[in-house]
Structure 1
Amino acid sequence: MQIQSVSIEDYISKIPEERQEIFKKLFDTINDNLPKGFSQGSSYGMIGWSVPLETYPAGYHCTPGTPLPFISIASQKNFIAFYHMGIYAKPDLLNWFVEEFPKHSKKKLDMGKSCVRFKKMEDIPMELLAEMSRKMTVEEWIDIYETNFKKK
């Protein structure tokens, strides 16, 4: 389920009302904890943070001419999703997250390659996601991206 929007406020206004407050809190948690240099916006039917083209002119290889995505959040039909490209690309970060998750939640970790799904809004571990958001700088993300994904 993608929500087409023109801004972050527009996106939030289109999600179910009972999710809006927790979604805003999740947005603020990530936004307040990300290292400087990431820009926020709405793309791919989600709200996200990316490396702007001014910083990394090569952009995202899958969609040339667009900023390099890093973290996204989305309201899906049955859950809120937290996408972090760093956990997909850096095994040490993934291992850290998997080990830390049980310390912050009694629920079983529901995760894909870069997506963590939260079916119950009250189960979103804000402190853990804040810490996760602080763990990678723009420069580190660009280096990992170029090493792992960028076609040369």
Structure 2
Amino acid sequence: MQSKAQSVAEYLKELPEDRKKVMIELREIILKNIPKGFIEQMSYGMMGYVVPHSIYPSGYHCTPELPLPFIGVASQKNFIAVYHMGIYANPELLNWFVTEYPKHSIQKLDMGKSCIRFKKLDQIPFDLITELVQKMSVEEWITCYESQIKKSK
């Protein structure tokens, strides 16, 4: 469910109250803990945390006019999703997350390539999300991203 909201504030306003509380908490965690250089904006119809063109002028290889995405947070129909591109691109980070998850949640991990799905809003491991957000700097993300792009060419 992509939103047509033009700002994060507008996006949050349109959410149901039970979702809004969780999304605001996730946003606060990200803003307090994401390494310097990433910026918040609406990205792909969700709250996005990206590497701006001022730091990475090439942008996202699929759509160079867009900044390089890193984290997205969305209220989907049946769950809240945290999309973390570092987990998708960095096997060590993925292994760390998969190993740590059971220490922080009694819920079974529901995950796609970069998507972590939370169906039970009262079971989101905010402390683990905090750690995850802190794990990769802008420079590390760009290096990881570029190494993946070179492999695919």
Root-mean-square deviation (Å): 1.1
Q: Distance in 1 between matches of 2:102 and 2:94?
A: 14
- Identity value in percent: 58
Q: State how 1:56-71 maps to structure 2 within 5 Å.
A: 56-71=56-71
Indicate yes or no: 2:19 matched with 1:46. Answer: no
Kindly tell me the number of residue pairs found equivalent between the two proteins: 152
- Tell me, in whole angstroms, the C-alpha distance in 2 between the residues paired with 1:100 and 1:109: 10
The reply on whether 1:76 has 2:62 as its aligned counterpart is no
User: Aligned partners of 1:62, 1:99: CA distance in 2, in Å?
Assistant: 31
Instruction: List gaps (5 residues or longer) in structure 1.
Output: none
Which runs of no fewer than 5 residues in structure 2 stay unpaired?
none
CA separation in 1, counterparts of 2:147 and 2:43? 24
Runs of 4+ in 1 over 4 A off after TM superposition: none
Quote the offset at 1:135 in angstroms: 0.3
Query: How far did 1:149 drift?
Result: 2.0
Residue 128 of structure 1 corresponds to which residue in structure 2?
128
Q: SS of the counterpart of 2:102?
A: helix
- Give the alignment's TM-score, normalised by structure 1: 0.97
Matched residue type, 2:102: P
Provide TM-score, normalisation by structure 2: 0.96
Superposed counterparts of 1:69-148, under 5 Å: 69-148=69-148
SS across alignment from 2:81:
strand
